[in-house]
Chain A
């Protein structure tokens, strides 16, 4: 199971931090990558980035460099940090389990957490 946690409301220009807690499977399973996807009314589903338990990460080149992924294997969690948020970052954020680096489909999704950017 994947479960997102984080603030539901963030002010413009603030930093957003979301965490995904993983249960039932080890974050250190070699094949898997772990990622974040968001869904907003205006842009549909948008892949943000993916990370391996080793810390190797890659990101959507279409996005600004405001997004950063990290892993905490001791807690079996991974996280997303978004700096300088703006209203266009308002979306439902999903954490996902990705099969691998080549077969980049998403086998498992969290329930999603709604993040609203508003003053």
Chain B
């Protein structure tokens, strides 16, 4: 089973700031089969990125994903008030698909 580690656990930031979140895999993820989700309390998780770098439908271009192998990142170029949430990565290279523990972005 591929274990995903996300860092940091929590970030305290202000609107307008740029942030880069890390997702590291315990073994190489083939074909860039990695996705990112945003999760806010009381709402379903929202797919942001798939294939490591492809934005999902209706996702603003301030969100971007990159990486390969074992190291992946999600960047938000300029935080908007609605971006404060928990972000999870998920791989779909092998079974079982697994998720990282999440990084919470909170308002400073």
Distance of B95 from chain A, by nearest CB (Å): 6
Given A44-B99, A47-B98, A60-B95, check contact A105 B1 (CB 8 Å): no
Main secondary structure of the interface of B (DSSP, over half): loop
A107 to B47, CA, bound (A): 6
For B95, what are the chain A residues with a Cβ–Cβ distance below 8 Å? Answer: 58, 60-61
Nearest chain A residue, comparing its CB with the CB of B93 = A104
For B46, what are the chain A residues with a Cβ–Cβ distance below 8 Å? Answer: 109
Q: B96–A61 contact, CB under 8 A?
A: yes
B9 within 8 A of A: no
Q: B35–A62 contact, CB under 8 A?
A: no
Given A62-B1, A103-B50, A104-B92, check contact A94 B45 (CB 8 Å): yes
Q: B47–A105 contact, CB under 8 A?
A: yes
For B90, what are the chain A residues with a Cβ–Cβ distance below 8 Å? Answer: 45, 105-106
Chain B 1-23 residues near chain A, CB threshold 8 A = 1
Given A62-B1, A109-B44, check contact A45 B99 (CB 8 Å): yes
Given A47-B97, A94-B45, check contact A103 B92 (CB 8 Å): yes
For B45, what are the chain A residues with a Cβ–Cβ distance below 8 Å? Answer: 94, 106, 109
Most buried by B among A46, A47, A108: A47
Chain A 46-62 residues near chain B, CB threshold 8 A = 46-47, 58, 60-62
A111 within 8 A of B: yes
Instruction: Indicate with 1 or 0, residue by residue over A93-107, a CB within 8 angstroms of chain B CB atoms.
Output: 010000100011111
Subset of 12 A-B contacts with CB under 8 Å: A44-B88, A44-B101, A62-B1, A99-B50, A103-B50, A103-B51, A105-B35, A105-B90, A106-B37, A109-B44, A111-B44, A112-B44
